[in-house]
A and B are shown apart, each in its own frame.
Chain A
Amino acid sequence: MPLLEVEHLTRSFTRRRGIFGPSDAVRAVDDVSFTLGRGETLGLVGESGSGKSTLGRLVLRLIAADSGSIRLDGTDIVGLPTRQVRALRRQMQMVFQDPYGSLDPRMTAGSIILEPMRVHGIPMGERHRRLEDTMRRVGLDPAQAGRYPHQFSGGQRQRIGIARAMTLAPRLLVLDEPVSALDVSIQAQIINLLQKLQRENDLSFLFIAHDLAVVRHISHRVAVMYLGRIIEVGPRESLYGTPLHPYTITLLSAVPVPDPVLERRRSRIASFGEIGSAAHLPGGCRFHPRCYRARLVAKQPGTTAATVAGETLPQRCVEHDPALTPLASGHAAACHFPELPETRSPIAERALTLTQELA
């Protein structure tokens, strides 16, 4: 049994447009299902507003779900009474992006790290033993426990955030962009630290990030979100080596590689427009306004096409919301015309040459 099983999880927010404007519902997380094994890292990528943080918060029950189930070790936690949620928190912790904003500037590093243990009633002597031990494990000097956050560098502050999350010996960490605000040279230190902690403690990570190269490095499996939905999920090698969803391929082709020779002969898929809004989900496939594949398929003989906003697209893309469908071992995508290797569009073939060679 996986450590975490999430099924049909949904959460909307109502948002008012302007002060007197009408309110509309934002489907931040829309019917999301996934599993996470013990000692496994699931990377969660997607553009801004795609629902990654909301999903992380739902899993930790920091916010309530509208519907769906979340099982930790087989126990459904969505309906748990608040008191039991507290006990649950010991097993699941969160690390935030901003090592500046997420630490209370008036508390010392030591008291920040101690706080969860205090809340959970760990005995005094034990707290201090764990404080020292955890600080060492994350590469901080316990002698600096009396310092304040501003007296540490960005990377050290992120270590404080990780130490705080580790003191209760959790089984799951939700890491929301834990390295995005850090300098490149510090990112690598923190990524290595996280991987070490995972090996030593059989920890599971839900690792949220928008950097596809970082996610590839740290994850065992990767899920790609688009406007509230997981549109592709698979083992790292196959997701990066043979991505199936046109959106994933578009994303991968947009990531520049730090090598002038390779990078300058790469071809890229120009994406149409910008990421849509979860408040105005397009009908049918939510990616259709930006999808290159739909535009190519519509021209093929035998496709039933429809004309939307002056563009010719396959009728299925415009009318039916595709479900996440298993297409290869452990690898699923939500697309009516997935880019299966044998029938891949030439434009995707070119864009993938680089990533495929080396995945």
Chain B
Amino acid sequence: MLDVATQPSPVTLDRDAPILEIRRLRTEVPTSHDPIVLLDDVSLQVHAGRMLAVVGESGSGKSMTFLSALGIAPPPCRVAAGSVLFEGKDLTRFSPEELRRLRGAGISMVFQDPLTALNPVFTIGQQMVEVIRAHRAIGRRAAWAHATDMLARVQIPDPPGRMHAYPHQLSGGMRQRVLIAMAIALDPRVLIADEPTTALDVTVQAQILELLDGLRRETGMGLVLITHDLGLVARYADQVAVMYGGRVVEAAAAGPLFATPRHPYTRALFRSIPRLDAALEEDLPTIPGHPPNIAELPPGCAFAPRCWLRGARADCETERPPLVAVGEAGHRSACLHWPDMAHAA
């Protein structure tokens, strides 16, 4: 089978070309022996005006993928291989200064922890103006006006008043809106939202997601949503990538991914979540064991110790399955035996 997706494709100029493309990214932590491989062979595409959802268990590498792509993986983690193409340029070759200028302006990220992302001793307005002026040569007054507009854009009531508020004076939902306002203030082409609603209540979560979804439709920016919530993925995502043990194990459009998952992990994951609309059974189907420790990955398929499909197949433990095209256009899976899933209940 030909692995189309992970081969560097010739540069195309069609409208559907991704704005951000991560190719075969590998991130490591050096040690005195072999390095610990945090990410291996990660390839993803983000398209204009569309939402890519990245799902997977804690520690699977979701945040690290985008921190690495933006050149802000925390040391000693370092990008060891791969390329990150943004508007035709390879970010892995950018200088730290070029990357700094790109972040916020071309690609911006809303980080996982909203409490630490805002400085408690400065007002919302001061912090927003600083971010804007770091990237744009405009005066304080113009930056202030722009920041106020941005707060209105994310539907914060009384924006001029809120510019003078300190972070602790805002609710969790409002703080998250402020972070989104900051992230879009410089008109990024790509916005990466790392679990933007995990700490929020469901009604507030719904409001924030509607907001992000609306923004990408209006502005045509590409949106990446890193999340654990498969319900949100079902509602908003165009494309989905499932990560496990530092790799992408399945990627597809949302419809086919949910309807016919082609990786045993994805299928088991979907079945193990309690759903509001499912028949009630005594026991939930579970995935045995626990997520892998990335420093001690087995040599073959990382999912092998927990896999329901593996049975006596020996290659699962020796061969690292590549992410290959499976059936439908754009659907990819990193399971050596995905065709057998159709026959297994």
Chain A residue nearest to B168 in the complex (CB): A18
CA distance A214 to B274 in the complex (A): 6
Q: Is B196 an interface residue (CB 8 A)?
A: no
Count chain A CB atoms within 10 A of each CB in B171, B174, B207, B235 and give the residue with the most: B235
- Given A185, A212, A260, which contacts B255 in the complex, CB threshold below 8 Å? A260
Partner of B201, one of A183, A191, A210: A210
Instruction: List B contacts of A184 (CB < 8 A).
Output: 57, 228, 230, 269, 272-273
A residues 37-83 in Cβ contact with B at 8 Å: 47-48
Given A47-B203, A251-B202: A260 touches B234 (CB 8 Å cut-off): yes
Inter-subunit contact B274/A257 (CB<8 Å):
no
Judge whether A264 is part of the interface by a CB distance below 8 angstroms. yes
- How close is A321's CB to chain B, nearest CB, in angstroms? 22
Interchain CB contact under 8 A, A185 and B291: yes
Alpha-carbon gap, A47 to B206, bound state (A): 13
Stretch at the interface among B13-21, B179-187, B277-285, B320-328: B277-285
User: In the complex the two chains form, is A216's CB within 8 Å of B276's CB?
Assistant: yes
A259 and B234 form a contact (CB under 8 A): yes
Q: How far is the CB of B123 from chain A (nearest CB, A)?
A: 15
Contact A156 B290, beta carbon cutoff 8 Å: yes
Let me know if B282 and A254 touch, CB within 8 A.
no
| Cβ contacts B187-200/A at 8 Å (1 or 0 each) | 00000000000000
Contact of B64 with A by CB under 8 A: no
What per-residue 1/0 map shows which CB atoms of B274-318 lie under 8 Å from chain A? 111111101111110011000000000000000000000000000
Does residue A126 face the partner (Cβ distance < 8 Å to B)? no
Interface size for A (C-beta < 8 A) is 47
The reply to whether the CB of B88 lies closer than 8 angstroms to some CB of chain A is no
Judged by a CB distance under 8 angstroms, whether B117 is at the interface is: no
Q: Which of B171, B206, B259, B278 contacts A254 (CB 8 A)?
A: B206
Give chain A nearest CB distance to B234 CB in angstroms: 4
From A185, A186, A271, A355, give the contact of B276 (CB < 8 A): A355
Shortest Cβ gap from B52 to chain A (Å):
15
Query: Complex formed: what's the CA distance from A61 to B26 in Å?
Result: 53
How distant is the Cα of A191 from the Cα of B259 in the complex, in angstroms? 25
Q: Which residues from 174 to 208 on chain A have a C-beta closer than 8 Å to any C-beta of chain B?
A: 183-189, 191-192, 195
* Closest partner residue, chain A, to B258 (CB atom): A260
Shortest C-beta distance, B210 to chain A (Å), equals 8
Enumerate chain B residues within 8 angstroms of A275, measured Cβ to Cβ: 171, 201, 203-204
Residues of A that sit less than 8 Å from B by CB = 47-48, 153-156, 183-189, 191-192, 195, 210-214, 216-217, 240, 250-252, 254-264, 268, 270-271, 274-275, 354-355, 357-358
Q: What are the 9 tightest A-B residue pairs by CB atom distance, in nearest-first order?
A: A256-B231, A217-B274, A258-B230, A185-B287, A188-B272, A188-B284, A47-B201, A254-B206, A153-B290
Q: A48-B172, A256-B206 are in contact. List 14 more A-B contacts (CB 8 A).
A: A154-B58, A184-B273, A185-B272, A188-B273, A188-B284, A191-B274, A195-B282, A210-B202, A240-B276, A259-B258, A263-B235, A264-B234, A271-B203, A355-B277
| 18 A–B contacts from the bound complex (CB under 8 Å) | A47-B201, A153-B291, A183-B57, A183-B291, A185-B290, A185-B291, A188-B284, A211-B274, A213-B273, A258-B233, A258-B270, A264-B234, A271-B203, A271-B206, A274-B171, A274-B174, A274-B203, A274-B204
